[in-house]
Chain A
Amino acid sequence: DAKTTQPTSMDCAEGRAANLPCNHSTISGNEYVYWYRQIHSQGPQYIIHGLKNNETNEMASLIITEDRKSSTLILPHATLRDTAVYYCIVRVVETSGSRLTFGEGTQLTVNP
């Protein structure tokens, strides 16, 4: 399984962009990069995913490097409610099903 590496914690000022990095140097060609976030004692919330191209939705943008060995999740205008643990995940696809393998994630704290 491709492994991801994220910083343990990050801080961001409210209203500023939050840029969360993720390394996935062993990613294979058909594996997607997924981002989820989890607020304490709740289920993880899907944010965005991508394969090669940069992606944007109403929540965030995902920038994937050309060699696909790393990516960055961007929250353009962070709010206090964006304080959460953010997980960068590489999708493992197997013949009997497909699953997500979670690492430790990044604790993002948005400060007033």
Chain B
Amino acid sequence: DGGITQSPKYLFRKEGQNVTLSCEQNLNHDAMYWYRQDPGQGLRLIYYSQIVNDFQKGDIAEGYSVSREKKESFPLTVTSAQKNPTAFYLCASSGGRSGNTIYFGEGSWLTVV
């Protein structure tokens, strides 16, 4: 079945360490997105990419980095520069037959210990 796969579902990180969250989609979507969600809050856009090898900063890009080397993949690295990384991270994609509608993965929980 087509969909968006995020991994890992749960991740623990020590302070000062970088960590990379994986996002893969087999929907043939051109655009991909990363959002962050804090408990009881809405979603905030970190980065998005419309095409391979191109991406733009969202509203809270500081302390994060991304790459888009393949259409199917849009990994997010949470760097040590991100002061409050503990959050729920959501990957999404759009395009192809879905048109402008954005579809989400199931999310990854990152906890800094």
Minimum CB distance partner of A91 in chain B: B100
Binding site for A on B (CB under 8 A): 4, 31, 33, 35, 41-45, 48-50, 54, 56, 58-59, 88, 90, 92, 94, 100-107, 109
Residues of A within 8 A of B56 (CB): 96-97
The answer to whether A53 has its CB under 8 Å from any CB of chain B is: no
Residues of B within 8 A of A96 (CB): 50, 54, 56
Q: Are B42 and A43 in contact (CB under 8 A)?
A: no
Residues of B within 8 A of A41 (CB): 88, 107, 109
Q: How far is the CB of B39 from chain A (nearest CB, A)?
A: 10
Q: Are A101 and B106 in contact (CB under 8 A)?
A: no
Considering the chains assembled together, what is the distance between the CA atoms of A34 and B104 in angstroms? 14
Ordered by A's residue number, 19 sampled pairs between the chains whose C-beta atoms are within 8 Å are A34-B102, A41-B88, A41-B107, A43-B4, A43-B92, A43-B104, A43-B105, A43-B106, A44-B90, A46-B102, A49-B100, A96-B50, A98-B50, A98-B94, A101-B59, A102-B44, A103-B42, A104-B41, A104-B42
Residues of A within 8 A of B58 (CB): 99
Residues of A within 8 A of B31 (CB): 97-98
Interface size class of A (residues with CB under 8 A): 20 to 34
Q: A32-B100, A44-B90, A46-B101 are in contact. Are A105 and B107 (CB under 8 A)?
A: no
Residues of B within 8 A of A102 (CB): 35, 42-44
Q: Are A97 and B49 in contact (CB under 8 A)?
A: yes
Minimum CB distance partner of A44 in chain B: B104
Q: Are B100 and A98 in contact (CB under 8 A)?
A: yes
